Structure 1
Amino acid sequence: MILLECHDLLLRAADRDLLRADLVLRSGWRVGLVGPNGSGKSTLLRTLAGRAQASEGLVSRPPGVEVDLFEQDAAPGQAVDLWSLARAQLGTIRALELELERAYRLALRDPDAGLRYADLLAGFERRGGFDADARLMRDLERVGLSAASWQRPAAEASGGERQRARLVGALVAGADVLLLDEPSNHLDLAGRDWLVERLGAHTGAVLMASHDRALLQRACTHVATIDGGRITLRRGNFDRTTQALADAARSGARRHAERTKRLAELDRMAADLARFGHRAAQVRKRRAGRERAALAADAAAAPPVARDHTTPLRAAATPGARAGATLLRARHLQIPGILDDGAFDLRSGQRVALVGASGSGKSSFLALLAGATAAADPRAHLEWRDGTSVLYLDQVARGLDPERSARAALTDWVSAAQATGALAEAGLPHAVWDRSGSSLSGGERARVALALLTVREADVLILDEPTNDLDLPGIETLEARLTASRAAIVIASHDEALLRALQAEVVTLEAGSLVRYRGGIDGYRRRSRRLEPGADVTPGTVTVPPGGVDATGTDATGTDADADAAIDRERALAAAALEDPLRWSTRDLERWQARREAADDALLDAWERRNHGPAPAPRFRTREAGVSVLADREGDALRVGLEGGPEVLVRRIGAVAHLRPERVEGLVTLPWAWRALCHGAARLAIYLLPVEAVQVSSPVPLAGGPFERHDGDWWVARRAALERSEGWTQGPVAPRRGRRRRRDGPTGRIGRGR
């Protein structure tokens, strides 16, 4: 059933055409609205909700269909507190309730009014009116608004708290058509899980403007993209849309190259024919001119060729630093109410993601690491390796001095020409390059930060919610550049797609302690906790034997029995503390409970490892330079290594795979072995992943195989070139089954390991 549609809708802004839209929303459709900042997403939502007027076109919906709009940063209105603000979104349910009460009183006096009362009662039940308040309470808790905060004055609450309260109210109200503008802003990972669950249970239609790729992937049945002032609706989730756009971009780039080549040929032809005056030459010249005009018109109408967002970040060479060397040793870190006595080490090339609920102290911890704030414990010290350079970008200033311009901030590090090039590449409008940092919007500051990440040389990047205020192209640019970076990265973010692409180790602040999780963001979701070594048994630490528990489940300094005994001691210590609750404060009890759970997890992990035997052999192999190159696939990534030697991680971003070495302290890789590993990794990636090219930064020359030099130390292996060199051709097959690939020669072998 069609719930809302618009035809030939024209939206204008500042005397220019912003967007022309034709769109239909049906029951059960959850449509993600994707487009650059300023493309008209919010204006379209307001127009569909009837809160703004279109210059042309028609918006229509069947009688009785209710439309509700959730906007960003709306004022609290007349709401007294957060509870009232959330409950105010239930306007239709509250109106039905009042009408139901009036109909009930009327039915007591007039039996003929009973039918109307029955109809109203059925509608009230269908909208969930009887349990609306109960659902509101439950969902407020799930987005991190505890009952203690409900009475907080709405005007004094943070913008994030107000937005979460309004969002909960809108989803509990459950209008037939929900129009949501950036609903995941200010939601942590648990809140985003709740949002996906609620959207999936909604039986009406949803149109949601968002830059959250994980949300678009998990929640949407369709994706509407805005490009060139037009909307294109595609069935399927975000990954399918991304693939379709990538295919279209490759086709567009190919047509652009063909057009450019033909235009050059026509220009040469016109120059040659101009030397001849006979009639035939003039006819051919006019014909060539008409063809050139047609090609030029096609070029003007074609969408711009997609930019390459894979420019690597620079990384300063720390004097004496080895791959995997320790850059930071921090001890006795204390943040009142957040962290009691924490320790944190950071190695060269390491990537650490700080995740957790909103308000859990992530920003405070990053500021402490960056030296922007001081620890509360006088014993605290942060020991940086000599010569280590650090770039810290907080959520608000984004590394900008409020009194200085974006151009001036960049020219501290690079030439004026390089600074203007970086600002243009980051998409910052030229008109604001010389404005002070305090006068820039959040989105403009985010783009300055993107430019700073490109020009600053740093060994360590400390980034606090770097995707905030960036549109999807900006987020993809940030992801590509961070993925290609050699710097150590400490990042606080709720962007699952970014954290997954970075393959970052997850650290959380829980019950006054720093807790690490195995397996990146997916391991965090499985609550695959990793216990940290240490001998202190105070409530604020989580401990195992001094050597830790290694990947086989044994004590790093002893046997399985030693590890089990140490974990049993930890469990017994925590259990004894929990049996005497009067001895401890509430906070200390929470810490003891966390220690008990962590010890239980460690015991279970050790048991699982021992009972499931050794890890399986790699599934894929090839040979390069006489050595075996082995690989295992991990989703959109490959882990590739030489037998008994170094490893690399190959991560796919769109149609390009990025090859990154896995740093192991003390391991030296000879140039020939590195070359063999890169050649094998490229071949395996091209045959096992849906990519068109593989790129890697390597000071060791990689020529003589699938790679060709691209720029400086950057090398690229392309699918087409590899397939040609190995004898792959396109051959005909039976009718109605398309075309198949056929291999003509036996050069190069790839297969499953036996």
Structure 2
Amino acid sequence: MIHASNIALSYGKRVIFKDVNIKFTPGNCYGLIGANGAGKSTFLKILAGQMDPDKGEVNVDARQRIAVLNQDQFAFDEFTVAKTVLMAHTRLLEVLEERDALYAKTEFTEEDGIRSGELEAEFAEMNGYEIESEAATLLSGLGIGEELREKKMKELEGGEKVRVLLAQALFGNPDILLLDEPTNNLDRKSIVWLEGFLERFQNTVIIVSHDRHFLNQVCTHMADIDYGQIRVYVGNYDFWYQASELLKTQRQDASRKADAKAKELKEFISRFSSNASKAKQATSRKKLLDKLELEELPASSRKYPFILFKPGRSCGDVILEIDRISKTIDGTKVLDNFSMVVNKGEKIGFVGTNSLAITTLFQILTGELEPDSGTFRWGLTMSHSYFPKENSDFFTASKTLVDWLREYIPPTEGESFARGFLGKMLFSGDEALKKTSVLSGGEKVRCMLARMMLSDANALIFDEPTNHLDLESITALNNALKAFPEIILFSSHDHTLMATVASRIIEILPGGYIDKMLPFDDYLEDAGVQELQAQYRR
């Protein structure tokens, strides 16, 4: 068990935590959630002993081992992949190295024999004889093949390093496991493997993640950071969301009732305070009003942007027709005779391990690239708006957000319209005068979504739109895409977004593609799809 007592932390005048008391018990998996800046990663560091709070303490049994997903991709560059995984368990590695050094001696003394016996006993107690097979299983499950295991970490790609660091955290059956965004850089197969691992894990797990489906699959509890406190809910993310919405509604209803009662009392006092026959009643009501406490809802750190896409016109009979498009990038053919016809009302989710192929297709359809061969045509009624995966070209000039957005608003509208629109996207007051050069990744994404909302397009194209967004913005975007009545073409690693929006799935694979009129979860379970996937991969 890990217990945080009276934790308080502030940065200047900004209070992050105030007298937080929380226990995390074995056998449970806790999802730590909260708005960007609420202190999720900071709290994990406090639990891990990597940061001291201003007040309070973290209590952990001295015999328990805490494992943390390391965020520094370069910390182990000079070590092999296999050694990096073992380094998670410091004591096990010390015993292993001392034991090996003893056995390497040319002369073995009686003292060495006694010491080796002690080391062997401790090594066996820590399950040391299984370490190589355990490390291999972890690496294999996370997509790190045997050919990479003796390479140095510096020889690996960034995504591969992240997977090795995740294997490191999982290694050795830690008593307490702290994971900050563990699904980043994982493909769907590796995420499913990790879900299975955590479902079987018997000790304490605390996770920070923006992946709603992952939280639903593995979490038994949600620890919600808001109002400077941490409140624990039993259940997964969906249960927390429903419970928190209900609690918010109840608080708002109670506040409205108190406000209405106060208004009624004030009106009575105003009308009858000078009336002799009613003066006693007016005085009584004034005393009641003085006692009535109008409890204001505390300012939540959780804010949802207002996202709504409205098509300027309905789609006609012809939407989009693609005929045998091919494209080669840097000597590799990423699209090979790709064809499709988009029908009315379709929301098509594009998946596949080769994200470059999907991005290339979207760039061709929006006119940013020319195909090497093949043709496509949009219907006469169609207008499209594109959310690119890389948006830096839209923010090269340093402008205020108001001036940036005015490039996309109708010419008849002015600054007040731009400010109002930015307010919907959580840029209120002075935030609207922020320079585009200092925006965070999430703020840039919200700007790009605002640009698309102003386009009135009836075909929306999104390339990984949830990157950099917090859970609140992802939820708002998800709801907006579900509500959009016309055409959507999109790619996303967000399982919930794909499962709740897409009515058709297209998977681009080496040597071909699969096109199925199926919801995403059905697509993943379809035996015919799995057979086709195996054929293309052979």
Q: State whether TM-score is above 0.5.
A: yes
Residue of structure 1 equivalent to 2:511: 512
In structure 2, distance between residues paired with 1:159 and 1:179? 21
Residue of structure 1 equivalent to 2:121: 119
Query: Does the CA-based 8 Å contact 1:86-1:168 persist in structure 2?
Result: no
In structure 1, distance between residues paired with 2:78 and 2:515? 40
CA offset digits 1:16-63 (Å, max 9, x no partner): 211232221222211111111110000000111111110111101111
Q: 1:76 aligns with which of 66, 74, 77?
A: 74
Q: 2:403 aligns with which of 408, 415, 428?
A: 408
What's the offset of the Cα at 1:240? 2.2
In structure 2, distance between residues paired with 1:46 and 1:495? 26
What's the offset of the Cα at 1:224? 0.8
Change over 3 Å in CA distance of 1:228–1:305 after alignment to 2: closer
Query: Does the CA-based 8 Å contact 1:316-1:457 persist in structure 2?
Result: yes
In structure 2, distance between residues paired with 1:500 and 1:75? 32
Residue 359 of structure 2 is aligned to residue 363 of structure 1:
yes
Residue 427 of structure 2 is aligned to residue 461 of structure 1:
no
Q: 1:16 aligns with which of 14, 17, 35?
A: 14
Residue 110 of structure 2 is aligned to residue 109 of structure 1:
yes
Residue of structure 2 equivalent to 1:594: 536
Change over 3 Å in CA distance of 1:398–1:276 after alignment to 2: farther
In structure 1, distance between residues paired with 2:75 and 2:282? 74
In structure 1, distance between residues paired with 2:156 and 2:103? 39
What's the offset of the Cα at 1:499? 1.5
1:21-40 correspondence runs (5 A): 21-40=20-39
Change over 3 Å in CA distance of 1:218–1:304 after alignment to 2: same
Residue of structure 2 equivalent to 1:395: 389
What's the offset of the Cα at 1:233? 1.0
Q: 1:299 aligns with which of 296, 315, 331?
A: 296
Residue of structure 1 equivalent to 2:261: 262
What's the offset of the Cα at 1:398? 7.5
CA offset digits 1:219-273 (Å, max 9, x no partner): 1111111121111112222222222223212322322331232232233234324
In the alignment, residue 299 of structure 1 is paired with which amino acid? Answer: E
Structure 1 residues without counterparts, runs of 5 or longer: 532-541, 543-589, 598-754
What's the offset of the Cα at 1:462? 1.0
Tell me the SS of whatever aligns to 2:127: helix
In the alignment, residue 283 of structure 2 is paired with which amino acid? Answer: V
In the alignment, residue 163 of structure 1 is paired with which amino acid? Answer: V
Residue of structure 1 equivalent to 2:133: 131
> Which range is displaced more, 92-101 or 347-356?
92-101
Change over 3 Å in CA distance of 1:385–1:164 after alignment to 2: same
1:78-477 correspondence runs (5 A): 78-80=76-78, 83=81, 86-87=84-85, 89-92=87-90, 93-101=92-100, 109-110=110-111, 111-113=113-115, 116-125=118-127, 128-141=130-143, 145-146=144-145, 159-273=158-272, 275=274, 280=280, 283-284=283-284, 286-292=286-292, 294-295=293-294, 298-301=295-298, 312-317=308-313, 321-322=315-316, 325-335=318-328, 336-357=332-353, 359=355, 361-375=357-371, 377=372, 379-397=373-391, 400-403=394-397, 404-411=399-406, 412-414=408-410, 415=413, 416-428=415-427, 430-477=429-476
In structure 1, distance between residues paired with 2:442 and 2:196? 29
Structure number with greater CO (CA < 8 Å, separation at least 6) is 2
Max radius of gyration: which structure? 1
In the alignment, residue 15 of structure 1 is paired with which amino acid? Answer: K
What's the offset of the Cα at 1:328? 4.2
In structure 2, distance between residues paired with 1:85 and 1:498? 38
Residue 55 of structure 2 is aligned to residue 56 of structure 1:
yes
Give aligned pairs, total.
523
In structure 2, distance between residues paired with 1:312 and 1:440? 22
Query: Does the CA-based 8 Å contact 2:347-2:503 persist in structure 1?
Result: yes
Tell me the SS of whatever aligns to 1:39: coil
What's the offset of the Cα at 1:429? 6.2
Structure 2 residues without counterparts, runs of 5 or longer: none
Tell me the SS of whatever aligns to 1:361: helix
What's the offset of the Cα at 1:436? 4.5
What's the offset of the Cα at 1:492? 0.7
Change over 3 Å in CA distance of 1:54–1:458 after alignment to 2: same
Tell me the SS of whatever aligns to 1:478: helix
Tell me the SS of whatever aligns to 1:31: strand
- What is the CA RMSD across the aligned residues, in angstroms? 3.3
Q: Which protein is richer in helix relative to its size?
A: 2
Query: Does the CA-based 8 Å contact 2:28-2:203 persist in structure 1?
Result: yes
Tell me the SS of whatever aligns to 2:515: strand
Q: TM-score, normalised by structure 1?
A: 0.63
Change over 3 Å in CA distance of 1:357–1:96 after alignment to 2: farther
In the alignment, residue 413 of structure 1 is paired with which amino acid? Answer: I
Tell me the SS of whatever aligns to 1:338: strand
Tell me the SS of whatever aligns to 2:423: helix
Q: Give % identity.
A: 23
Change over 3 Å in CA distance of 1:484–1:140 after alignment to 2: closer
